[in-house]
Amino acid sequence: MTRHDAYTMVRRRAVAGGAVAKIGNHSFRGTGITTYLLNEGTLELAQEMANHSSPRTTKLYDRRPDKITQEAIERIRIE
């Protein structure tokens, strides 16, 4: 199976499942790295598992800063 075949399969399944966001092969990589780091994994081991030569590349897949907190939502005031 080629990368393109894998991407096509993932996209087809995502659309069939009703996903609105663009989901591809790297979505799984980002989810895996983020979940690992949320569970107290280290960036160094995440880098090794992802086979990245640089921690900067691994940080690109870390989605922890994207998490919206309840505190942030409560700051919104409608007057």
Domain boundaries of the chain, sorted by first residue: 3-74
Count of C-beta atoms within a 10 Å radius of residue 66: 8
Does the pLDDT value for residue 39 go beyond 90?
A: yes
Residue 70: what pLDDT? 66
Q: What pLDDT was estimated at residue 25?
A: 82
How high does pLDDT run on average in the chain? Answer: 88
How high is the pLDDT of residue 79? 64
Residue 1: both structure tokens together: 């199976």
| Complete DSSP assignment for 12-49 | HHHHHTT--S---HHHHHHHHHHHHHHTT--HHHHHHH
Number of Cβ within 10 Å of residue 49's Cβ equals: 14
- CB neighbours of residue 16 within 10 Å: 8
**The pair of three-digit structure tokens given for residue 51, joined into one six-digit string:** 């086979």
